[in-house]
Amino acid sequence: MKKTKGKKKLLLIIPLIILLVLAISFIGWIVKPAKKMNIAVLDTTVPATDGQGVNQTDRYYRKHSGFFWLLNQQKYVKSNGKKYNYKKDYFGPQINENGEYTGENQIADFDKVPDFLYLADVYGSELYDNKYSGLSSKDMNIVSLTYSTGGTVVAETELLGSTTDETVCNEIKSMFGFTTTSWSGRYVVDLNDFSDVPKWAPSTYENQYGVKWQFSGPGLILASSEGGIIVLEEKTDFKSKNLVSISISDEFKKEFSGSKKSNFYNWFELVEAENGTDTIANFKINVNATGMEKIKEISSTNKFAAIIRKRSNSGDTYYFAGDFNDCTSDGRIYRFLAADKFFKALSFDKEGDINQFYWKFYNPLMKKILKDTYKGLDEKNEKQSENEKQLTVRVNENKFQIKKNDDYENLNLKAVNVNLDEPGSANATRNYGYYKELLEQAVEMGVNTVRVYELAPPEFYRALFEINQNSDDKLYLIQTIKGMVADTQEEWQKTIDTIMSSIHGNGETKNDSTDEGQEDILKYRHDVSEYLLSYVLDISPSGEELQTLSNQGETMEIMFHQWKE
């Protein structure tokens, strides 16, 4: 009898314990403090398709929804306290419930400097003929601003698409610290299943090798942007089902202990990490000698960088050389403690299923990166506040003085004028690389001040900002404000306001360029006022007025000095 009573008590206690644990978990999540962080996500592959151009009505947002699940589960919220909504709070093509295009939110229009910027997918949707694919120069302005002000920038594969300008491609490779081999690949469960095999693969293979596509069973398709293709087939080129795996590098296993080795069934790139970067994780293609012989034209090794981190005085960048944030299980409940660990424990490897990678590797990886970014916000904001309070430039006894070590020193001007017209360009160029190289050469020559005779494109001020962020030897600015004698007071005020607000990183002006593909409005996001020595008013008289002034021997140039509040 006593044993029977004991069993009954145990049967009652166990459900009560389970209910208590569940109650604590749900209530604990509710009372857990929210974490405010400015997060921007760019996803131009909306609505997502199945890879054959077929619209997936239940997974329109699959290229970023998994990330938003993590944001909500970890209680990251917007500055107004509201949660992030994966259907609204991203930049890229906007759609309605039927997947129909309703407009576009451009990341250049983000009204805050992101603390965390995620370039989730810029491949573009096949439904729009990839109209929104690639990154533009104006996109790079907000990317670089995030990075140079201490934020974290994370990007995924296909950043260097065919639609991305070469100048932007070079910026991307420099910022993230990688070079591409032009090759990418994907695991295919059945090479004879043409609903899964990319539609271009059979014809490309037949054209290259002159034989029919007769593959079947599991395999790997490697393709080059230059038209090459390699197919690896089970039994011939590899034996194991674990053909492509991803794992954290040994030296970073302690830092990213939550991410476990996982099979990878999605698209990946073959890239190489540059010097000065951290290879956080690697892909490994587990081929035999026959398979290795096939891929030797690509590389002498079967291991490739999967996650590359670049750290600098500005901020951190992470490049994921694969389609990481591709989640098909975003509808799962998240409002309880350790929900991510719960679903991770339930996940298992199923050939071709990308969900296990999400729970076992991607989710804990991004959780750690977000946590590190959030921990650094106080230091970042404190640094920005100190910079805002400091008066770094002043005029004393008709000399410019620069504040150094709590004291002011005279600045011996070594100045040059800047030509905004790149050779071969009819207008002031939008080429950031041109301005960066020009200003770097000026610094190498010992120049400490540059003068521009008009409001330059945003890329010029971005280059000036970034050079000064990464150098102890500052490059200062003299900005000309041009106008006509005949201009009204209202016109003058508008010109002055536009230039001053642009120098302070919150200006807009009409784009007069006739170059094809240029936006109508130029937006200035980089605050270079810290490096401004003075404004110069350049008032141009009409021909008749010029003759009168010449007779009187007058000049119409007035110098205004900046005093920072």
Separation of alpha carbons 264 and 337, rounded Å: 28
Q: What is the pLDDT of residue 204?
A: 95
- Residue 553: enclosing H or E segment and its boundaries? none
Q: What is the pLDDT of residue 518?
A: 57
Residue 486: exposed, middle, or buried by beta-carbon count in 10 A (0-12, 13-18, 19+)?
Answer: exposed
Separation of alpha carbons 18 and 14, rounded Å: 6
- Residue 119: enclosing H or E segment and its boundaries? strand 116-121
The 10 Å CB-count burial string (b at 16+, else e) for 189-212 is bbbeeeebbbeebbebbeeeeeee
Separation of alpha carbons 349 and 247, rounded Å: 15
For tokens 């090479």, the residue is 191
What contacts 398, CB < 8 A, 6 or more positions away? none
Quick check: 140 and 171 in contact, CB under 8 A?
yes
What 3-state DSSP class applies to 503?
helix
Pair of tokens at residue 368: 């750690």
198: Cα within 13 Å, side-chain hemisphere: 18
Q: What is the pLDDT of residue 10?
A: 63
Residue 130: exposed, middle, or buried by beta-carbon count in 10 A (0-12, 13-18, 19+)?
Answer: middle
Separation of alpha carbons 1 and 54, rounded Å: 66
Is the peptide bond between 202 and the residue preceding it cis, with omega within 30 degrees of 0?
A: no
Helix axis angle for 363-375 and 339-346, nearest 10°, is: 160
- Residue 1: enclosing H or E segment and its boundaries? none
Quick check: 52 and 34 in contact, CB under 8 A?
no
Separation of alpha carbons 194 and 205, rounded Å: 14
Q: Phi then psi for 558, rounded to 5 degrees?
A: -125, 135
Separation of alpha carbons 120 and 111, rounded Å: 20
DSSP 8-state assignment for residue 302: S
Separation of alpha carbons 417 and 323, rounded Å: 46
- Residue 75: enclosing H or E segment and its boundaries? none
For tokens 């400097």, the residue is 113
Residue type, 231: V
Q: What is the pLDDT of residue 129?
A: 57
Quick check: 208 and 229 in contact, CB under 8 A?
yes
Q: What is the pLDDT of residue 156?
A: 92
Closest CA to 226 of 197, 187, 268, 183: 183
Closest CA to 328 of 307, 353, 351, 349: 353
Q: What is the pLDDT of residue 347?
A: 87
DSSP 8-state assignment for residue 49: B
Q: What single string gives the DSSP state of each residue in 190-242?
A: -TT-TTTS-TTHHHHHHHHHSS-----SSEEEEEETTS-EEEEEBTTTB--S-
What contacts 521, CB < 8 A, 6 or more positions away? 508, 509, 510, 511
Closest CA to 354 of 382, 324, 334: 324
Positive or negative torsion for Cα 423, 428, 431, 435: positive
One-letter-per-residue 3-state SS of 434-474:
HHHHHHHHHHHCCCCEEEECCCCCHHHHHHHHHHHHCCCCC
Closest CA to 176 of 6, 319, 348, 325: 319
Tens of pLDDT along the chain (565 residues) come to 555 666 666 667 777 777 787 788 889 889 899 999 999 999 988 887 654 444 454 578 889 999 999 999 999 999 999 999 999 999 988 888 887 888 888 888 787 889 999 999 887 766 665 566 678 878 888 898 899 888 999 999 878 776 677 888 888 888 999 998 899 999 999 999 998 999 999 999 999 999 999 999 999 999 998 899 999 998 899 987 789 999 999 999 999 999 999 999 999 999 999 999 999 999 999 999 999 999 988 888 999 999 999 998 778 999 999 999 987 665 688 888 888 988 888 888 888 888 899 999 999 999 999 999 999 887 766 666 555 545 678 888 788 888 877 788 888 999 999 989 888 777 888 888 889 999 999 999 999 999 999 999 999 999 999 898 878 889 999 999 987 766 777 888 888 999 999 999 888 888 876 455 556 788 898 999 989 999 998 876 655 555 555 555 544 443 334 433 3
Separation of alpha carbons 12 and 19, rounded Å: 11
What 3-state DSSP class applies to 325?
coil
CB atoms within 10 A of CB 236: 16
